[in-house]
Chain A
Amino acid sequence: MTDLTSLTLAEARKGLADKTFTSLELTDAHLSAIEAARVLNAFVMETPDQARAMAREADGKIAKGDAGPLAGIPLGIKDLFATKGVRTTACSKILGNFVPTYESTVTSQLWRDGAVMLGKLNNDEFAMGSSNETSCFGPVGNPWRRDGSNATLVPGGSSGGSASAVAALLCMGATATDTGGSIRQPAAFTATVGIKPTYGRCSRWGIVAFASSLDQAGPIARSVRDAAMLLRSMAGHDPKDTTSVDIPVPDYEAAIGKSVKGMKIGIPREYRLDGMPAEIEKLWQSGADWLRSAGAELVEVSLPHTKYALPAYYIVAPAEASSNLARYDGVRYGLREQGRNIIELYENTRAEGFGAEVKRRVMIGTYVLSAGYYDAYYLRAQKVRTLIKKDFEDCFARGVDAILTPATPSAAFGIGEKGGADPVEMYLNDIFTVTVNMAGLPGIAVPAGKDAQGLPLGLQLIGRPFDEETLFSLGEVIEQAAGRFVPERWW
């Protein structure tokens, strides 16, 4: 039965509809795969009983012919999404054994459409990281290794558990979140497809907040079509999130296979970095060639403020995080460390509960918002953000339909390899993805090739606001040209 795990979501949907197998069989196959892959540390909580109950319910509905679009499909859920009755920690010690009494909007929509929850997935603590090494549950292993090497590599982050689990065939798709690249970078590191939709597309309600003006949920999946199917269920207006946009959700799957003939694709010259590895350059060129062969027109474009996106992000995101994380005070939920008075209780709880990266960002955020520094840092960063967004608007105003860039500046790296001495070294991972969050745009990462050591590399497509459909159409062209990449099983 294990080969059931190698199906794409679209193939599994067909098999379930044709009664070739049941959701219970499909779910059990994935539960066994999860058990056999614990060394990857992708799941921080397995929920087999709940999974089987949900699968039986889905089988009942399929038999009765009233199955939802994701009926019986087993998924993994990033531990940033509140799941009713199932521990949710954001992979932080400070949330301890927090068991939500409510369900996030995004996951409730997946269950509404019949999906099955296999468990909760590892991530960087409060989604702050690019390697999944800041999780209080320890790092996640990437199912991909360098040719001829046994060294375990990071799956990227913050949605490292999601990417690793999807790549290792432990779940048919996963929820993820992206504040500066946390869906697209791990997708690129694991040869999976990840899309961060337009800001406002998915409700943020019930997702542990990191930087509220940047956070968006999206799927990580095994194919572009699978990502389209998942996003359709995850997206949609929610009155409980004031930034959620009240416009209809299109049938994203209908965009798959649509002609891209005549589309204008921008190649931003500022993304051509000094010292960029030749293989990334080559991959980018291949992507452009594939799109051109499919009938798209390639044009060079300029996004002059690109280099300022990452520094502006490292003011805006920590500032918002310092405010959002003020709620972890040892009083209402989670960890509590005693103190002689209430201030000490707060200080001791937060010292004990937050990891090093989170502390660092909360402190930077506190500093840039503090009296006398607000204008110099925060206000200036928000002005730079306006300029970054304007770069994209100017580009789209000239008729560009989407922008093609590399997803990451390198392939996956080893555990403990980066950011030890200087945190900025790790932050540079998000150099191609962070602009998209700053401008609130949709971006998709699609596997496109391998580097000389056999590690996957991805390309990113950036779209106009609320035009995820174009990204799916173009992403499909890349996927068809590049093929699907599956790691060799070693775990």
Chain B
Amino acid sequence: MSVDAATVRRIAHLARIAVSEEEVPHLQGELNAMLAFVEQLSEVNVEGVEPMTSVTPMQMKKRQDVVNDGEIADDIVANAPATEGHFFLVPKVVE
């Protein structure tokens, strides 16, 4: 399988990465090189094979559903590029 220019633009948008028109052909070549490389997986017989979900056989650990953290709003916003009090600032989302 390989991707065309329109697909490259669609993937870039899905990945939320702005891509200029000049970058598309280059990215298309690189993505297709990677896709060509992984193409060899199609020759493996995976009939009846379970997909791996956990590399270490272990029960998923669960924790008590209790508050064990909090009151650290200052820490949470400490690295934000734009804040007002304990809120993150973003461009208007709802008109």
**Chain A residues engaging chain B, CB cutoff 8 angstroms:** 97-99, 101-102, 198-200, 213, 239, 242-243, 245-246, 305, 307-308, 310-312, 314-315, 322, 326, 329-336, 338-348, 350-351, 354, 359-360, 362-367, 370, 373, 376-377, 379-387, 389, 422-424, 427, 438-440, 465
Contacts and interface: CB of A to CB of B under 8 A. Distances in A.
A361 to B, nearest CB: 9
Nearest to B8: A363
- The 7 tightest CB contacts between A and B, nearest first, are A440-B55, A382-B51, A333-B79, A351-B18, A336-B81, A347-B18, A101-B75
A99 B79 contact: yes
Contacts of B79: 97-99, 101, 332-334
A373 B3 CA distance: 12
B51 A383 contact: yes
Interface string B9-39: 0011111111100000001001101110111
B18 A363 contact: no
A348 B81 CA distance: 14
Contact of A383 (B27, B49, B78): B49
A342 B95 CA distance: 12
Contacts of B76: 332
B91 A363 contact: no
Given A199-B56, A350-B17, A311 B40 contact: yes
B52 A382 contact: yes
B37 to A, nearest CB: 5
B90 interface: yes
Given A314-B37, A385-B52, A387-B46, A359 B81 contact: no
Given A333-B79, A350-B16, 9 more contacts: A243-B54, A311-B38, A336-B82, A345-B90, A347-B16, A348-B18, A350-B18, A362-B17, A387-B49
Interface residues on B, range: 35 or more
Contacts of A243: 54, 56, 58
Interface string B69-95: 000100110111110000010111100
A424 B3 contact: no
A331 B46 CA distance: 42
Contact of B41 (A360, A384, A465): A384
Given A308-B40, A380-B41, A424-B33, A362 B15 contact: yes
B88 A345 contact: no
A449 to B, nearest CB: 31
A370 B53 contact: no
B80 A245 contact: no
Contacts of A340: 91
Contacts of A305: 44
B6 interface: no
A424 B34 contact: yes
